[in-house]
Amino acid sequence: MIGIVERLVVPSVTRPAIRSLALSSACSLLALAALVGAYVEWVIPADDRLERAEAAYRKATLEQEQSRSQRALFEKALLTQGQVDTFWRALPSQDEYAALAMAISELGKAEHLTIPGMNYHLEESEGRLPVKASLSFRVIGDYAAMYRFIHRIETAESYLVVESLDAARADKAARATSHAVVFNVTVATFLRPSPPRGNMS
């Protein structure tokens, strides 16, 4: 066995070979360091820039969606405001309340109905809000005329609502006409507050 060990001779390494090997190792390490430096300098920041760009894109997309939804909401609010304004202008004002009662009375006369009198009720005004007003009256006449009268009230442009309608017992005068029917009617609407009047000094 000693003979085998003796045959293994380690070649002698010369100084220039060691220098060459060291220089080669140093160049490899330097190239590796340059590669790591380039990776750190360009690839990692590029990933960061990409992440920031994607985050900015997501934020812009979200803001655009919010802007679209706010615009749609604003357009819907404008449409609703227009509808409210149209409805508000169609309501009769408190100054027109007496004329409204006269119009109902005239409508009854046009249908050959008798309206002996009316009871008026106007709720208290709460600032600039609409005020509920109601008219209660008795109507006497032919059933077909009564039907047309009620229909015309319900389809009037003044937003009149028949709150109650009930048959009543006819008095002796109404019973004399066999075709006459008697109804107690309550009609309601909402009135715009009257505009404030200026001081006349």
Q: Are residues 151 and 170 in the same domain?
A: yes
Given a cut of 90, is residue 29 above it in pLDDT? no
Q: Is the pTM of this model over 0.85?
A: no
Domain that holds residue 28: 15-90
pLDDT digits (tens, 9 = 90+) for 121-130: 988 877 778 8
CA distance 161 to 168: 20
Quote the Cα angle for 159-106-163, to 5°: 35
pLDDT digits (tens, 9 = 90+) for 102-112: 999 999 999 99
H runs (alpha helix) in 95-170: 97-110, 143-154
Place of tokens 């005020």: 131
Quote the Cα angle for 107-143-181, to 5°: 100
Of 90, 111, 138, the one marking the end of a domain is: 90
Of 71, 90, 109, the one marking the end of a domain is: 90
Q: Are residues 102 and 29 in the same domain?
A: no
Q: Are residues 28 and 83 in the same domain?
A: yes
Checking phi first, is residue 159 left (phi over 0); if not, alpha (psi -120 to 50) or beta? left
Domain total of the chain: 2
Let me know if residue 197 belongs to a domain.
no
Radius of gyration of the chain (CA): 48
Q: What are φ and ψ of residue 187, in 5° steps?
A: -115, 135
Contacts of 47 by beta carbon, 8 Å cutoff, 6+ apart = none
Of 90, 112, 139, the one marking the end of a domain is: 90
pLDDT digits (tens, 9 = 90+) for 41-93: 766 677 777 888 888 889 989 999 999 999 999 999 999 999 988 888 888 88
| pLDDT winner (highest mean) among 28-32, 39-43, 169-173, 175-179 | 28-32
